[in-house]
Structure 1
Amino acid sequence: MTSKIDNPPPYEDALHHPKYDPTLLQQGSADPLPPSYSPGPDMYAGPPSYWGQAGMWAAPGISPSAMATTIPTLSAGMPATNPREMEGFLSTQWESTSVRHAFIRKVYLILAAQLTVTFSVVAVFTFVEPVKMFVIKYPGIYWASLVVYFMVYCILICCKEPRRRFPWNLVLLAVFTVALSYMSGTISSYYETKAVFLAMGITALVCVTVTVFCFQTKVDFTSCGGFLCIAAILLVIIGTVTAIVLSFHYVPWLHMLYAAIGAIIYTLFLVYNTQLLIGNRELALSPEEYVYGALSLYIDIVHIFLFMLQISGSATE
């Protein structure tokens, strides 16, 4: 707060003050020009009194060239970027990218081993006639493998993180792969060889197309988890209705329709799980969850094969 003594004089007194320069008046104008707001060169040289600032009033005016031409920017006063911090940021980004790439390679190596086992079992059950007749004659093994399939699947879902001392999740994944491979081989033994090969070819084409699409597209399918859950529930309901209707030999084409819907839904699940694996979307898998990532992709691919097998088998008949 300033005192009244330090306040500037009234306008009338300023006109008669000896320090006032009459040259500031314009010719033919009765009103004086206001003083410049820019300080003179001697503004701070004199005493602190208001009228002692001779440089402010004695000069007829300050030319625009004498004013500062530097325009402050938003970066004024900000410290310069530290090269070491930038190098640390880039190295962190590179490490996270390399970890994600190693995680993807590990998942696809496990998936390749699983698919090799599964389709080898399918080929044996399809081409070797004694094995084919054995699995058809003893369906109890199929139901036992179905029970093992559900039990091991629940355990793997509940225990996503790997064990530090012993990789129990990898052992359970191997048991799960054998159980699902036996189930797939048993189902394939009921179809002709031509239908099995056709289903394998379509499944391979779908998987390659989906993988390339997921690595190239900018559409985020990881935010559609709720929609996929609803689709899975509808698939279960349609499957139950189809089983009841087909038991009475009504609407024979309903079986092929159910297989087509199931193939489409599991293709969407394959897109969803592949984008979870990539990790540049809203949701992503942790690099420690490589077993869960391989498990998800493996189930999607095998179910797509089984639904395609039903469609191709019905078409060949």
Structure 2
Amino acid sequence: MSWQSVPQYPQYQDPNQQYFGGGGYPPPGGYPPQGGYPPQGGYPPQGGYAPQGGYPGGYPQGGYPPQGGYPPQGAYAPQPGFVQPPSGYGAYDDPESQPKNFAFDDQSIRRGFIRKVYMILMGQLIVTFGAVSLFVFHDGTKQFAARNPWLFWVALAVMLITMLSMACCDSVRRQTPTNFIFLGLFTLAQSFLCGVTAGRFNSTEVLMAVGITAAVCLALTLFAMQTKYDFTMMGGILVACLVVFMLFGIIAMFFPGRVITLVYASIGALLFSVYLIYDTQMMMGGDHKYSISPEEYIFAALNLYLDIINIFLYILTIIGASRD
């Protein structure tokens, strides 16, 4: 294309010689040309902005457009060898310079949160059942705990303090590394208590309880992930059931016996099985009415860990009471 195809600027006959010649630029009569801006037929001329091969003679002195003209100061000004912009007129439409749309993918965040919770939970269970194995299969560990009963009360106090701190204080369970320190102390204390408790049973009963607990927890977790029933709305009911269960346990202390032990342990295993479904759905989020924030991965791991440990202890109690 040449400038001869632009009828609005007859003085630009030869771009190699008369660019800004013969009357100057803008054309006589002011800029924009008579008839408004852009001139009839649109601006830039058909075929693109700037003649093929760029502006002859380089960029005009003083800059283009004139001071106060169009485009505004700071926008794109053509250089020698300028090529056709991708689209539009004005600032260069570079796709890399356009703002990107970073969509908030809640599902990917939730999946990462679930992976983090189960990794923490797996570490807790490995430590706990390692301690249980040590108390069950190593007589020296069992005798050491029996000769030092104060360790039981220290572990119980550490377990209660750390658990209540993480449950009641947001700053404790959300700030790193404080949350991992408290969770580690809680896990060690709870593992010692579980080991002392399991040491009262023989190895066959403990292994049976571990196997049943693993099967029950796996089945309940899969059920919680697949079922259409929303257990997250049952929080108030579960709290009421837990209070009644605790009162029943206090009363059962004054009426010891095999039958009441079996009843108490069976109710406890059932209650914490429902709690495991409830906490799993709270962690999953999605279509459920209530869910745990992805920032609460320590709290979610703590809930699941307590559910599994309670299920294990009550199943172990059922097995021991049924054989005794």
Q: TM-score range by the shorter chain?
A: 0.5 to 0.7
Shift of 1:234: 1.1
Shift of 1:160: 3.5
Q: Which amino acid in 1 is paired with 2:295? A: E
Task: Name which of 268, 279, 284 aligns with 2:274.
Answer: 268
1:157 and 1:163 map into 2 onto residues whose CA distance is 11
Task: Name which of 289, 292, 296 aligns with 2:296.
Answer: 289
Shift of 1:148: 1.0
After TM superposition, the score normalised by the length of structure 2 is 0.66
Residue pair 2:245, 2:268 contacting (<8 A) in 1 also: yes
1:43-58 pair list within 5 angstroms:
none
Task: Name which of 308, 314, 317 aligns with 2:321.
Answer: 314
Q: Deviations over 1:21-46 (max 9, x none)?
A: xxxxxxxxxxxxxxxxxxxxxxxxxx
1:131-280 pair list within 5 angstroms:
131-160=141-170, 162-164=173-175, 166-246=176-256, 251-280=257-286
Structure 2 residue 108 is matched with structure 1 residue 102? no
After TM superposition, the score normalised by the length of structure 1 is 0.68
Partner of 2:36: none
Shift of 1:211: 0.8
Question: Unaligned 5+ residue runs, structure 2?
Answer: 1-99
Q: Deviations over 1:268-293 (max 9, x none)?
A: 11111000000021000000000000
Partner of 1:126: 136
Partner of 2:43: none
Task: Name which of 295, 299, 305 aligns with 1:298.
Answer: 305
Shift of 1:163: 4.7
Residue pair 2:174, 2:296 contacting (<8 A) in 1 also: no
Residue pair 2:258, 2:321 contacting (<8 A) in 1 also: no
Shift of 1:150: 0.8
Question: 1:288 is paired with a residue of what secondary structure?
Answer: coil
Question: 2:201 is paired with a residue of what secondary structure?
Answer: coil
Aligned-CA RMSD value: 1.6
1:279 and 1:183 map into 2 onto residues whose CA distance is 32
Shift of 1:315: 2.2
1:112 and 1:104 map into 2 onto residues whose CA distance is 12
Partner of 1:113: 123
Shift of 1:106: 0.1
Residue pair 1:160, 1:292 contacting (<8 A) in 2 also: no
Aligned residues: 223
2:250 and 2:174 map into 1 onto residues whose CA distance is 38
Report which structure shows greater RCO (CA 8 Å, sep ≥6).
Answer: 1
Shift of 1:140: 2.1
Q: Which amino acid in 1 is paired with 2:273? A: T
Shift of 1:145: 0.8
Shift of 1:238: 1.1
Shift of 1:243: 1.0
Q: Deviations over 1:202-234 (max 9, x none)?
A: 110111001100110110000001110111011
Shift of 1:138: 2.7
Q: Which amino acid in 2 is paired with 1:294? A: A
Question: Unaligned 5+ residue runs, structure 1?
Answer: 1-86
% of aligned pairs identical? Answer: 37
Residue pair 1:263, 1:303 contacting (<8 A) in 2 also: yes
Residues 1:306 and 1:202: Cα distance change in structure 2 (over 3 Å) = same
